């Protein structure tokens, strides 16, 4: 009797219907529709996450940004003062280099720190321009106050 029920179910699934469709094709169509809807939802959710303010240029690195910030704070607050107190120049230089590497990595991954790095780079460029201006003014002043006799002494 159980075999007859299984056969009847198989016949019902594969039997043609009045609209010309098989039952299996209708199930397949519903599954594909559901799959397309799920894929579209995941795609839209991924776009929403990637466009959030915490997202970096290469993706969402919020946890990585926090971890790097904690590491930078640890190196600046604990390790660097310890190296300075012990008077170990090599350790101090290596710690400063590590802090700089961590800082640049964080600026690459985290937009708000990247903006800070851009601002600092602009300030450094302005400082270089100001130093060049001061050097040119110093040369002009030396030429003026020596009556042009400073030739060769100053660059």
Tell me whether residue 146 is in a domain.
no
Q: Which two tokens stand for residue 58?
A: 């290469």
Tell me whether residue 64 is in a domain.
yes
Backbone dihedral region of 147: left (phi > 0), alpha (psi from -120 to 50 degrees) or beta?
left
Q: Domain of 102? A: 60-137
Tell me whether residue 110 is in a domain.
yes
Tell me whether residue 33 is in a domain.
no
R_g of the chain computed on alpha carbons: 35
Contact 49, 55 (CB under 8 A): yes
Tell me whether residue 125 is in a domain.
yes
| Tally of domains within the chain | 1
Number of Cβ within 10 Å of residue 23's Cβ equals: 14
Tell me whether residue 38 is in a domain.
no
0.75 exceeded by the pTM?
no
CA 43 to centroid of chain Cα atoms:
20
Residues paired with 56 in a beta bridge: 59
Per-residue pLDDT of 87-146, as tens digits, reads 999 999 999 999 999 988 888 888 777 777 777 777 877 888 888 888 888 888 888 888
Is the model more confident about 34 or about 8? 34
Contacting residues for 49 by C-beta, under 8 A, at least 6 apart: 55, 60
Residue 3: pLDDT band with limits 50, 70, 90: low
Tell me whether residue 49 is in a domain.
no
Residue 18: pLDDT band with limits 50, 70, 90: low
Tell me whether residue 31 is in a domain.
no
């Amino acid at each position: 009797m159980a075999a007859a029920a299984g056969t009847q179910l198989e016949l019902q699934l594969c039997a043609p219907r009045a609209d010309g469709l098989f039952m299996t094709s209708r199930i397949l169509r519903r599954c594909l529709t559901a799959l397309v809807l799920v894929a579209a939802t995941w795609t839209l959710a991924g776009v929403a996450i990637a466009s959030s303010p915490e997202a970096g240029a290469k993706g969402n690195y919020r946890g990585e940004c926090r971890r790097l910030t904690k590491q930078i704070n640890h190196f600046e607050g604990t390790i660097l003062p310890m190296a300075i107190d012990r008077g170990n120049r090599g350790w101090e230089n290596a710690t400063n280099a590590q802090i700089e590497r961590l800082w640049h990595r964080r600026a690459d991954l985290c937009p708000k720190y990247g903006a800070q790095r851009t601002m600092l780079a602009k300030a450094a460029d302005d400082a270089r321009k100001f130093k060049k201006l001061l050097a040119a003014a110093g040369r002009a002043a030396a030429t003026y106050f020596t009556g042009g006799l400073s030739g060769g002494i100053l660059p």
